[in-house]
A = this chain, B = another copy of it.
Amino acid sequence: MREGVEWAVHCCINLSFISPDRAVPAARLAAFHDLPTAYLNKQLNALGRAGIVSSRSGPRGGFRLGREPEKITLMDVAAAIDGSARAFLCTGIRHQGPAGRIAGPAGHRTPCTVSQAFSRAELAWRRRLARQTIAGLADEVRRANPAAPDHVRHWFDRT
| Stretch in A18-26, A47-55, A91-99 touching the partner | A91-99
- Taken together as a complex, chains A and B put the C-alpha atoms of A152 and B94 apart, in Å, by 12
Cross-chain contact B6 with A114 (CB below 8 angstroms) = yes
Chain B CB within 8 A of A90 CB: yes
- On chain B, the residues within 8 Å of A137 by CB distance are 113-114, 117
- Copies of this chain, complex-wide, total 2
Q: A125 contacts which of B124, B140, B145, B151 (Cβ < 8 Å)? A: B124
User: How big is the A interface, by class?
Assistant: 35 or more
Chain B CB within 8 A of A27 CB: no
Given contacts A6-B88, A13-B114, A110-B144, contact A94 B33 (CB under 8 A): yes
| Interface set of A (CB-CB < 8 Å, partner B) | 1, 3, 5-7, 9-10, 13, 31-35, 74, 87-91, 93-94, 96-99, 102-103, 106-107, 110, 113-114, 117-118, 120-122, 124-129, 132, 137, 140-141, 144-145, 148, 151-152, 155
